[in-house]
Amino acid sequence: MTTTMKHVITALVQNVPGVLSHVSGMLAARGYNIDSLAVGETDNPRFSRMTFVVVGNNHILDQVRAQLLKLVTVVSVEDLSERPLVERDLMLIRIGTNKLPRSNALELAHIFRANVVDVHPESIMIEVSGKESKIEAFIDVMRPFGIIDMARSGRIALARAGDGSKNSAEES
């Protein structure tokens, strides 16, 4: 029996025009659904790191890895799913402040270690980052205020250093 799970994969790619389109097109052409995708330049401007989440079993993961490695612009591919890692999503959410007191939203933002980044007489915009479960929980507690707009970045992740023992600050 094969188990379907979310695989967090990172690919170090050459930072050239068309790489994102090429990689995502290749995955789509083979029927692999990308659950989340984030891309950004590394400390070396010649390379970017793509972090994406693919849902599937180990066979699907092996296929995705093999297909990625065939692309000339892909330098390396790593599955972080089985390794200790630090992962974050970023979200901006605008909520209404007419249904419930603004102070309630501000208190909840504080509890979630979120930042208020814009204030309007009828709404506030809040920035929150963390694990996907934290983002989902924050969305749930904000629903009663009325979600006006929302944008999410997609997941970014890096493997922890060393043997995987926690020697850094605890994740929130």
Task: Output the domain CATH number for residue 137.
Answer: 3.30.70.1150
The pTM score is 0.77
Number of domains in the chain: 2
**pLDDT score, position 2:** 58
**pLDDT averaged per 10 residues, the chain (length 172):** 78 92 86 87 94 85 87 90 89 94 95 97 96 95 97 91 51 44
CA distances from 45 to 17, 40, 48, 91, 162 (A): 13, 10, 7, 26, 26
**pLDDT score, position 102:** 93
The residue segments making up the domain with residue 135 are 86-157
**pLDDT score, position 168:** 40
CA distance 127 to 115: 5
Q: Where does residue 1 rank: exposed (0-12), middle (13-18), buried (19+ CB within 10 A)?
A: exposed
Instruction: Please indicate, yes or no, whether residues 102 and 138 belong to a single structural domain of this protein.
Output: yes
